[in-house]
Amino acid sequence: MGRLLLLITLLLSLGAHIFVSRQVWDTRAEARRSGEAAYVLPSRFSRILALGYQGLFSDYLFLKTLTFYGERQMLQKPLSEDDWHYLVTSLDVVTDLDPYFFDPYIFAEGTMAWEGKIAEANKLLEKGWRYRDFDWRIPYFIGFNYFYFLQDYEKGGNYIMEAAKLSGSPRFLPTLAARLTYYGGKSETAILFLKGMLADTEDPSFRATLEIRLLALERAAELEKMIERFKDDHGRSPNQVEELVARGYIDVLPIDPYGGQWILLKSGRVFSTSKFTTARKKE
């Protein structure tokens, strides 16, 4: 009888615990949905607050930043200018506390640059290079931003050549730098960059983001190859990508994994209306 009573008590306690836990989780979820970007304590005060444990405090602030961004992504909620200000300021403080911490730099490159915050991403990466002057990945990221987003191929090539001089850098970097200065804006060059970035990324969620982006660029590159073949045959570029199907160069247009429509530029480069970023729900 005593054991039965104990078992009933344990089951009731377990049920109550599950119920309360769900209520707490639902409450927190609602708070996350409605939460606004928080104020970021400036670096000079954050150093004092860290009480000598700047590395640990940097980890905490970065985790908080990742959580904020991740929840916006899950809810497909667009980031406001205040949200971006919070992210940029937070990453700046994180890297002031621990400028050797690599994760904030790769996060900035994988999110800020692709969302149009290129100047902010490059500013943070330049800071990282001042401290991590041994790390070829930092100038590699900066070089890609100049090449891909700013169409400054010479400057992009110079940064990647600097990356190629550093110990441990991939053997393909000198070739990549040469391709930038010679070929300019080709999707194939961006593919090499993303493959290199994937090789240094362990976070599953971020890897998934990069893999989708890589797939989109690979499909754009295939279209660009067909456009070059079309030009060789006809002495002109197709009027639009659909002409590749009409003329029999491809059976069907590949699907942009982001859901956009392919656009052919006068330069022969292929872009998408999705801008290779995930669509957000409108408020």
Residues with Cβ within 8 Å of 93's Cβ and at least 6 positions away in sequence, in order, are: 40, 41, 42, 43, 46, 61
Q: Please report the pLDDT score of residue 17 as a whole number.
A: 40
Tokens for 103? 């994760």
206 and 230 fall within a common domain: no
88 and 113 part of one domain: yes
Q: pLDDT at position 34, please?
A: 44
Asked whether residue 140 falls in the same domain as residue 242, the answer is no
What's the predicted TM-score (pTM) here?
Answer: 0.57
Full domain range(s) for residue 264: 220-272
Domain boundary among 162, 194, 213: 213
Task: Give the whole-angstrom CA distance, residue 100 versus residue 49.
Answer: 20
What pLDDT does 57 receive?
Answer: 82
What dihedral do alpha carbons 81, 83, 84, 89 form, nearest 10°? 120
Q: What is the pLDDT of residues 182-231, one digit of tens each?
A: 555 566 666 776 777 677 677 787 788 778 888 988 898 899 899 999 99
- Are residues 179 and 48 both part of a single domain? yes
Give the DSSP letter string of 30-76. Answer: HHHHHPPPPP---HHHHHHHTTT-HHHHHHHHHHHHHHHHHHHHHTT
Tell me if residue 212 falls in helix, strand or coil: helix
236 and 201 part of one domain: no
Spans in the chain with pLDDT lower than 50: 4, 6-35, 280-283
| Cα angle for residues 236, 240, 245 (degrees, 5° grid) | 95
Closest-CA residue to 103 (of 114, 94, 90):
94
Task: Report the residue count for the chain.
Answer: 283
Q: Is residue 30 part of a domain?
A: no
Strand partners, 270: 264
Which amino acid makes up residue 6? L
Q: CATH no. for residue 140? A: 1.25.40.10
Domain boundary (196, 213, 230) is at 213
Structurally, the chain folds into a number of domains equal to 2
Q: 166 and 257, same structural domain?
A: no
Q: How far apart are CA 254 and CA 262, in angstroms?
A: 9
Does residue 243 sit in the same domain as residue 207? no
Is 180 a domain residue? Answer: yes
Largest CA distance in the chain: 93
228 and 209 in a common domain:
no
Indicate whether 53 and 161 sit together in one domain.
yes
* Residue 12 maps to a domain: no
